[in-house]
Amino acid sequence: MPSTISLRTSLGLTRQTERIPPRFDGLLALAAAVIVFAALLASWLTGGFTIDLPWAPSLDLRLAFTLDGLGALYALLASGVGIAVFAYSIRYLPLHLEHMKRPLRDGRSFYALLVLFMVSMIGLATAQDLMVIFVCFDLTAVCSYFLIGFDRSEAEARWAALMALVVTGATAVLLLLAAVLLYAELGTFSVPELAARAQPGPTLTVAGVLIAVAALAKSAQVPFHFWLRRAMVAPTPISAYLHSAAMVAAGVLVLGRLYPLLAPTQAVLDGLVVVGFASALVGGTLSLAEDRLKPILAYSTVSQYGYVVALYGLGGAAGATAAAFYVLMHGVAKSALFLTAGAVIEAAGGEDSLRRLGGLWRSMPVLAGASLVAVAAIAALPLTLGFFADELFFKAALARGPILTVVAVAVATLTFVYMFRFWSRLFLGPARAEGTPLAPGLVVPPALLALVLLVGGVAVGPFEQLAEAAGRSSIGAPAPVEAAYHLDLRATNLLALGTFALGGVGLWLEPRLRPALEAVGGLGARLGPERLYTYGLRGLNRLSDRVHDVEVRDLRSRVAAVLLPGAGLLLLGALVTPWEGRYRVGAMSLDDLGLVAGLLGAAAAAVATTRPKEHLGLALTLSGTGFALAAVYALLGAPDVALVAVLVEITLSLLFFVTLARLPAGVLRREAGLRLPLGRRVRDTLFATVAGLSAFFVVWSVTSTPKPSNPVAPELIARTDDAHAKDVVTAILADFRALDTLGEITVLAAGLVALTTLLRLRSA
Amino acid sequence: MTLPTQTLARLLLAPLLVLAAGMLVKGYTDVGDGFAAGLLAAVGFVLQDVAFGQRRAESLLPVRWAYRLALGGLGLALAVAVAPMLAGEPVLKHRPEPGVSPVKVGTLELITPVLFDVGVCLLVLGTVVTGLHLFAHPGEEEEQRS
């Protein structure tokens, strides 16, 4: 990030308002988002849809997608915010690419990944099968890796991308684990069926905890919150999309979808309440302590999803519906704020510190108004959608007693303070930074999102219905909430008023508490769980290096270390198996003379390999062994095997010659003249003798027992004609067992690709 | 290398390639299959390398296509494997069906497993040639590009 800023500052960002023709890729992505949003909306208004295709019937896996309430809410959110973000990107991305000195065509992968992300998010929202949920969950993680690391030349972006992938990807495995556990117990992956069959018990508890941990890591809840702060190095549209309405929402979406599996275990719900409120408090405090725009919003996201998680934990119909409502409100508001932050940073020439910004409302009044609405919504002021969200939040907290109510008010107050601090420092006060006028492309999208929040503040009906439908999907029963303005002194209103009053006091106190807050922020950065991650990753790296060293540097001695005990065991096994019928010396006819001669030749060649000193001679005697064995195969009546053996032997010998020809002759001569120390020679001889003896006895034992009749062989021979073949071996390889061959050649190709990549890397 | 080696290598190249092609064609009626044919062709190439050195050998044959040839071979084999699925049939089902007599060109029968075998052959040939090239000149292509 710092280098980005300096780059931007040095460029002076004078091309801000210059006309850059929009590129096709951005428009295409925007069109995709609009069409998907319209289709989803139309489908939802006409009763939703269900897709149910068999995937792996033997495992009862189905590609099952249903646009129910929960699915509709998240899918509409993902595609709706997608419209705003893609529209914004059309204006923003060319500027960003120019700062990063990257060609405009790099935008293609940007939009492709964003669209793929949107699709996987919609898939996740509508999926009804645990395995499909897991796949979509991981798809979002993989997409986010590439998106966060979009500025791949920046080390910090790569580090952040890896962190997001490791934290969310590694915990996603827990979701898979839970799926398998539940399948083993209940015999299905289908979520509705699981919900119907789930009985409280140890399996459900363990599965519930696993699911919750995976979801909490995805939603950047304490103690996993650190990855979201790092992910802010991503270009702003990506933060606006992934870290408000999509990626982090995936976690709570899974909580909402699998709520019937969590709800029977009270301990899991209590855990959610604790983690949720802890995240809300920690995120709020860190947000207040931060000074840079996007990190403030990132910690605010941690805090806001803390609300949602706590609401699911508080449970019941009210909790689930309120959580859904909250996600909807927050996704719209927070993406508007991210887009605002991106526009401001662009306009201020890369400046992103609250300390050095201010008074920007003069140069960007529309943006100031739009972000005020978004801030007011998150701070839950009336006339915005946010007011109802907090009303439901207070109601759910009130139902659980005074302690949680106090915590809820504290959290809401914190939110109020950090949100208005953000806005007022940015837009009010003396103008501290030059603000160039903004292109409409950067202002209209956040303004539209703000408009949604305002409309929702007046006519909450459609949003309420959507949230209720989502709550119904989670609970499996009608989950009505009452979101309305009541002009009386009911408890929720009093709590809201109290919050606003406390928030006002907090805003007044905040500048006075600044040093303390910054100390807390610094402490969090130094002692937070991010350290654990860093140490863990470093440890893993060291372990991998050690394993690599053992494999590569000490391999030869390891081979011997494996060979000797292995041979010893085999020998022991050969000796203790009943001797009867084994180790027989059968009769020999004259026909076998050729075979014996071939075998003797092979044995003589093998002994001969111990003699040569120079390399070429060694290679030749080695291939002599191979050719002798090939002759044995031919005499045994296996021409196909013999042919391949000969060809492999020729190729290997030639490769030896080529290699030897390229090595300096002096080196070869010196190496050939070296004498091994006596200890090594004794050891090698010992190993070779034991290994040879064990092979000898094993082969003797096997060949002297009668061959088990192979029932497949006659069948294969009979079928050869059906395969239009006359050569059974070829028919087996290319037809009967072609799947095996396919696997083998795939391994060969993978080896080739690995070889190519590694050898090119070494020279680079 | 000595003159006899070079002469022999040059004389052997064409027959080896013809033999490889023959083995591929006759694979279904006689000894040998795609794997052996690929190795045989590769031997022809490696022989040039031994006799003339890499530079000459590689100017003789299009080495830079070897990598694509290998992956193309794998692609061909995969395509033969997957194609029946499009018609709702099991993976790798061969055509024509048992009992239906296939179209013949000489001894070559036009059946899908032969195509599969061709894929194997290309993969083996490409892998050996690419491997030989890379061991001698790792990263040469990169240098040329930059």
Pair type for strands A61-66 and B104-105: unpaired
Residue among A643, A719, A761 whose CB faces B32 most closely: A643
Asked if residue A277 and residue A260 are part of one domain, the reply reads no
- Give the span between the Cα atoms of A17 and A6, in whole angstroms: 20
Asked if residue A406 and residue A480 are part of one domain, the reply reads yes
From chain B, the residues in CB contact with A640 under 8 A are 31-33, 36
In B111-140, the residues whose Cβ lies within 8 Å of chain A are: 111, 113-114, 116-117, 119-120, 123-124, 126-128, 130-132, 134-136, 138-140
User: By residue range, what is the domain housing residue A718?
Assistant: 709-764
CB A350, CB A293: distance < 8 Å: no
3-class state of residue A54 by DSSP: strand
Asked if residue A127 and residue A228 are part of one domain, the reply reads yes
B59, two tokens? 């100017």
Residue A227 maps to a domain = yes
Interface test with A, best of B1, B92, B111, B115 (most A CBs within 10 A): B92
- Give the span between the Cα atoms of A146 and A149, in whole angstroms: 5
Residue A589 maps to a domain = no
Q: Which residues contact B35 (CB under 8 A, 6 or more apart)?
A: A644, A733, B120, B121, B124
B27 interface with A at CB cutoff 8 Å: yes
Asked if residue A91 and residue A195 are part of one domain, the reply reads yes
- Taking an 8 Å cut-off on Cβ atoms, the answer to whether A647 and B39 are in contact is yes
- Taking an 8 Å cut-off on Cβ atoms, the answer to whether B113 and A755 are in contact is no
Give the phi and the psi of residue A50 in degrees, each rounded to 5.
Answer: -135, 125
Residue A184 maps to a domain = yes
| Whole-number pLDDT of residue A614 | 84
Tokens 């090119």 label which residue? A760
In A613-642, the residues whose Cβ lies within 8 Å of chain B are: 639-640
A79, two tokens? 């595609």
Residue of chain A minimizing CA distance to B31: A640
Task: Identify residue A258 by its one-letter amino acid code.
Answer: L
Asked if residue A336 and residue A232 are part of one domain, the reply reads no
Asked if residue A285 and residue A209 are part of one domain, the reply reads no
- Give the span between the Cα atoms of A468 and A243, in whole angstroms: 24
* Tens-digit pLDDT profile for residues B83-134: 887 777 777 777 777 777 777 777 677 788 888 889 999 999 999 888 888 7
Domain-ending residue, one of A469, A489, A511: A511
**What predicted TM-score, i.e. pTM, was given to this entire model?**
0.73
B88 interface with A at CB cutoff 8 Å: no
Asked if residue A256 and residue A281 are part of one domain, the reply reads no
| Whole-number pLDDT of residue A553 | 67
From chain B, the residues in CB contact with A764 under 8 A are 139, 142
CB A165, CB A142: distance < 8 Å: yes
A658 interface with B at CB cutoff 8 Å: yes
Task: Identify residue A215 by its one-letter amino acid code.
Answer: A
- Taking an 8 Å cut-off on Cβ atoms, the answer to whether B135 and A659 are in contact is yes
| Whole-number pLDDT of residue A360 | 83
Give the phi and the psi of residue A104 in degrees, each rounded to 5.
Answer: -60, -25
| Whole-number pLDDT of residue A11 | 40
CB A332, CB A453: distance < 8 Å: yes
A458 interface with B at CB cutoff 8 Å: no
Residue among B42, B77, B127 whose CB faces A742 most closely: B77
**Alpha-carbon distances, residue A707 vs A599, A641, A696, A698, A703 (angstroms):** 20, 20, 18, 15, 8
The 10 Å Cβ neighbour count of residue A148 is 29
Domain-ending residue, one of A243, A264, A285: A264
Cβ burial A61-80 (10 Å sphere, 16+ → b, else e): bbbbbbbbbbbbbbbbbbbb
CB A481, CB A318: distance < 8 Å: yes
| Whole-number pLDDT of residue A75 | 94
Residue A181 maps to a domain = yes
3-class state of residue A190 by DSSP: strand
Structural domain count of chain A = 3
B34-52 vs B3-26: helix crossing angle, rounded to 10:
170
Residue among B43, B123, B142 whose CB faces A647 most closely: B43
What's A609-645 look like in SS3?
A: CCCCCCHHHHHHHHHHHHHHHHHHHHHCCCHHHHHHH
B44 interface with A at CB cutoff 8 Å: no
| Whole-number pLDDT of residue A555 | 61
C-beta contacts of A712-720 below 8 A and 24+ residues apart: A719/B98
Give the phi and the psi of residue A689 in degrees, each rounded to 5.
Answer: -65, -50
Domain-ending residue, one of A196, A231, A264: A264
As for the ipTM of the complex, it is 0.87
Residue A13 maps to a domain = no
Asked if residue A425 and residue A296 are part of one domain, the reply reads yes
Taking chain A (764 residues) in consecutive chunks of 10 residues, what is each chunk's mean pLDDT?
A: 41 43 79 94 89 79 88 93 93 87 85 94 93 93 92 89 92 93 90 88 92 94 89 91 88 92 90 93 91 91 92 84 90 93 85 83 88 91 86 86 89 92 87 74 90 88 88 82 76 86 88 86 82 90 86 65 78 76 76 86 88 86 91 86 90 85 83 80 81 83 74 79 79 83 91 84 54
A755 interface with B at CB cutoff 8 Å: yes
Cβ burial A682-719 (10 Å sphere, 16+ → b, else e): eeeeebeebbeebeebeeebeeeeeeeeeeeeeebeeb
Asked if residue A249 and residue A276 are part of one domain, the reply reads no
